Chains A and B, each alone.
Chain A
């Protein structure tokens, strides 16, 4: 075998380009193994696995390009290396099958008509790309995570000086000028403007607003750390000012985890000074003292309903009345009390946290890998105990794997392992629709629901399975079909995470 290792210092290439290039090289005749990538820990591990080691590998940093080749002949290795350079050095634009144009970097892209740069590169490179975008006068939608806090602050301060929004990092979704970014639901245009520090939380609110017949002007994501003391709510405050100036926006909304006290004060003060009514949902807080301008919601569904009531000028009801919930709970248990524990497996982190809050308020102690209360934090995310809700979109589960919103099947082994536990009585999970998500998430989870039902039947146990379906009627997966697939498999399907958590509380308290 002939081997070659090349480390090119400070040479950045897009990870998607490198991954497809690796695949192309691996398929070449005479090449046994190939790895072309930035020298991240994960890629270095891959390089070691194909037989390379030593100071050159260990000393490489995520800013360096590493090329590792194993071939059957020196000629084959030469050819492969030549092809790699040809591909990487080519500044030629690549035409995709669908006629879109791909560019290797922002510098290559003609941006005269663009207003926003959507950036989704590994965290180590995200700040640099975002800075370039801001310098070129673009708002930034930063999907990337693992961006250091100091970089976030610097980017947001730069944006503030230039009058540009920095949405993110780790911004899951946004709707700007009617265009969905990230994991985006297709919702109606309307008069509600939203600033949100959470991805699935915003998606939940958007789809409930859509379901209630109202729509949004803008939904501005901020990233989960914007309301921390260190960042000071820069994007949130800029977003609210933008919504205040926007003539189409009649109602403003803010959705976030509980902010830093000083930042909270700034946000509320800005809302009070504005001319438009506002709804605030600081998740984890029971609510606040309503004023003429600002109303507090205790959960995401309530926030959406309050905003719709204000927008439409008439009181809207929650998606499920108390009587309806009573019927759903009765049908779910089918006359048999449920004695087992809850196991919730979420793809949406905010939805998981909301469930923890709601069940906590109902007096139920729930363990989690994302629990705010230290005593409820799981020592090992792989091992549930008593009532447990897991955020399977957390970094622990997604390192080297897709997010469960992209590949819901990654939750299925854990789901069935939980179903096999004799002390488990309720399984709870979310299914999130929209552009960018899996094309048939309900179809994948339905098979798991069916199998879990079989496991429970074989064990002579009662097992209630509850699905939270977050989707809008315009989403590409077909909301009605997704709901039907889950129901046919045996799940109780609810469109609100609040309602699902309330159902769990009702069943467990019965």
Chain B
């Protein structure tokens, strides 16, 4: 295949788009490029983040997927942090001198969680399969081995998170959250991803049960200033029960009880990033496990 001509403009077609992109497309707020990766591009207006991913990487409320070939990378088109995202007529967005993103034919994204109307007890087989998949996954997460009892210090902190919610111990809960938040390298550290998984499961259960935010949610919110802005945004969205499609699909399959797609959805989640999928999956597992035993998601 011949290389993309350095001078050419790249016209990118959006396939699916989440509702959070309305703020950009309506021209209500000014967005600019926050960070550029080979296969991901983040925009921000200083408060919220919008992420563009290639088709096949999944969508979400704050995500859009683009029709890109496997070898194409955002790096190649002179996209750098700080570039203004300029709205043009016809639902198009210009990013720098070489990239035009066309939203005009995009399909509105729908959450897989929209079908969840009640929270049944998650099937034992599904929980066992998730646990085994987490144990079998060779990742460099600081939480690897927690389920097998090989990380007693971290295991103790997670136990404190569980217990503090049940005992309504706010100060100790915040200390436990603070100990985990920011743990690990990268823009979304392992500790943040684990918290995100816990928040997602709680939010979905509580929404179905008609419950408002509780002690856990308030405690997490107060700690978000201690991590990266992008990661804090993802956790904030998780507190509302919104995340990337891969997370939502795995959770939807687990809650749909005995879904034939659960194994595929869990495998896909655990394959996200170097450690993110594992850490989020562990958060979902712990929240659902504690919910099954102690009504943890419904409490406090």
Question: Which one, B1, B13, B66, contacts A440 given CB within 8 A?
Answer: B1
B97 touches A23 (CB 8 A): yes
Residue of B nearest to A488 (CB): B70
Task: Report if A400 contacts B (CB, 8 A).
Answer: yes
B72 in complex: contacting residue of A46, A417, A440, A478, CB < 8 Å: A440
Tell me if A401 and B68 are in contact (CB < 8 A). no
**What residues of chain A lie closer than 8 Å to B3, measured between beta carbons?**
439
Q: Which of B70, B88, B107 has the most CB of A within 10 A?
A: B70
A86 to chain B: which residues have CB within 8 Å? none
The one of B4, B12, B55 that contacts A448, using a Cβ cutoff of 8 Å:
B55
Contacts of A446 in B (CB 8 A): 69-70
Chain B residues near A458 (CB, 8 Å)?
A: 261
Complex contacts, A482 vs chain B, CB 8 Å: 1
Stretch at the interface among A70-78, A114-122, A404-412, A502-510: A404-412
Check A451–B89 contact: CB distance below 8 A.
no
**Given A401-B104, A407-B13, A412-B67, A45 contacting B89 (CB threshold 8 A):** yes
Tell which of B4, B15, B89, B90 touches A413, judged by Cβ atoms closer than 8 Å. B15
Interface residues on A, range: 35 or more
A241 to B89 alpha-carbon distance, docked (Å):
48
CA distance A408 to B12 in the complex (A): 10
Complex interface: chain A residues within 8 A of B68 (CB):
409, 444, 447
Does the CB pair B12–A450 fall under 8 Å?
Answer: no
Tell whether, in the assembled complex, residue A443 and residue B86 are in contact, meaning their CB atoms are under 8 Å apart: no
Query: Is B20's beta carbon under 8 Å from chain A?
Result: no
Q: Among residues 162 to 196 in chain A, which have CB atoms less than 8 Å away from a CB atom of chain B?
A: none
B70 A443 Cβ-Cβ under 8 A: yes
Looking at the complex, which one of A407, A417, A443 makes contact with B71 (CB distance below 8 Å)? A443
Determine the residue in chain A with the shortest Cβ distance to B57: A447
A319 within 8 A of B: no
Contacts of A444 in B (CB 8 A): 67-69
| B window 32-77: CB within 8 A of A | 54-56, 66-72
Whether B89 lies near A416 (C-beta < 8 A) is: no
**What distance in Å separates the Cβ of A44 from its nearest Cβ neighbour in chain B?**
10
Contact (A477, B1) CB under 8 Å given A23-B97, A414-B105, A447-B67: yes
Residues of A within 8 A of B7 (CB): 96-98
Contact assessment for A440 and B54 in the assembled complex, using a CB-CB cutoff below 8 Å: no
A476–B104 contact, CB under 8 A? no
The smallest C-beta distance from B89 to any residue of chain A, in angstroms, reads 5
- Are B72 and A443 interface neighbours, CB within 8 A? yes
Does A314 lie at the interface of the complex (its beta carbon under 8 Å from any beta carbon of B)?
A: no
Whether, in the assembled complex, A161 has its beta carbon less than 8 Å from a beta carbon of chain B, the answer is no
Q: Indicate if B11 sits at the interface (CB-CB under 8 A).
A: yes
CA A203 to CA B94, docked complex, whole Å = 33
Q: Which residues of A contact B2 (CB under 8 A)?
A: 439, 476-477
Residues on B with C-beta less than 8 A from A406 are: 11
Q: In the complex, what's the smallest C-beta–C-beta distance from A477 to chain B, in angstroms? A: 5
Chain B, 147-159, contact with A by CB distance < 8 Å: what is the 0/1 string? 0000000000000
Chain B positions 90 through 115: 1 when the CB is less than 8 Å from some CB of chain A, otherwise 0: 10001001000010111100000000
Q: Mark A20-36, 1 if CB is under 8 A from B, else 0.
A: 00010011000000000
**Interface membership of B125, Cβ < 8 A:** no
User: With A and B bound together, what is the CA distance between A96 and B106 in angstroms?
Assistant: 35
B contact patch SS: loop
Q: Is B288 an interface residue (CB 8 A)?
A: no
B6 within 8 A of A: yes
- CB distance A481 to B1 under 8 Å? yes
**Are the C-beta atoms of B56 and A451 separated by less than 8 Å?**
yes
- List residues of chain A with CB within 8 A of the CB of B72: 440, 443
Cβ of A477: which chain B residues have Cβ within 8 Å of it?
1-2
- Which A residues are CB-close (under 8 A) to B94? 26
User: Can you list, as one digit per residue, whether each of B11-23 has a CB less than 8 Å from chain A (1) or not (0)?
Assistant: 1111110000000
Separation of A444 and B1 alpha carbons in the complex (Å)? 13
Q: Return chain B residues, CB-CB under 8 Å to A439.
A: 1-4
CB-based nearest B residue for A33? B86
Kindly state whether residue A213 has any CB partner on chain B within 8 Å: no
**Cross-chain contact A412 with B89 (CB below 8 angstroms):** no
Chain A residues closer than 8 Å to B1, beta-carbon distance: 439-440, 443, 476-478, 481-482
Q: Is the CB of B55 within 8 A of A440?
A: no
Are B88 and A443 within 8 A (Cβ)? no
Rounded to whole angstroms, the CA-CA distance of A501 and B36 in the bound complex is 43
Contact with B along A377-419 (1 / 0, CB 8 A): 0000000000000000000000011100011111011101100
Q: Give the chain B neighbours of A416 by CB distance below 8 A.
A: 15-16, 107
Tell me the minimal C-beta distance from A403 to chain B in angstroms.
Answer: 11
- Residue contact A447 to B261, C-beta cutoff 8 Å: no
CB-CB under 8 A for A447 and B54, given A409-B66, A409-B68, A439-B1: yes
Chain A residues within 8 Å of B55, by CB: 412, 447-448, 451
B222 → A minimal CB distance (Å): 39
Q: Are A402 and B69 in contact (CB under 8 A)?
A: no
Chain B residues with CB under 8 Å of A98's CB are: 7
Q: How far is the CA of A451 from the CA of B65 in the complex (A)?
A: 12
Does A49 interact with chain B (Cβ within 8 Å)? yes
Pairwise interchain contact A401-B102, C-beta atoms closer than 8 A = yes
Are A440 and B69 interface neighbours, CB within 8 A?
Answer: yes
Chain B hits for A45, CB < 8 A: 89
A451 to B67, CA, bound (A): 11
Chain A residues within an 8 Å CB radius of B6 = 97
Within the complex, the shortest CB–CB distance from A420 to chain B, in Å, comes to 8
Question: CB distance A27 to B69 under 8 Å?
Answer: no
A416 to B106, CA, bound (A): 10
Residues of A whose CB lies within 8 Å of any CB of B are 23, 26-27, 45-46, 49, 96-98, 400-402, 406-410, 412-414, 416-417, 439-440, 442-444, 446-448, 450-451, 458, 476-478, 481-482, 485
> What 10 A-B pairs have minimum CB-CB distances, sorted nearest first?
A443-B69, A409-B67, A409-B13, A412-B67, A440-B69, A476-B2, A413-B105, A49-B89, A410-B13, A447-B55
* 5 more A-B residue pairs beyond the given contacts A401-B11, A439-B3, A482-B1, with a C-beta to C-beta distance below 8 A: A27-B97, A402-B11, A409-B68, A412-B15, A447-B68
What are 8 A-B pairs at a CB distance below 8 A?
A: A45-B89, A406-B11, A410-B102, A413-B16, A416-B15, A446-B69, A447-B55, A451-B55
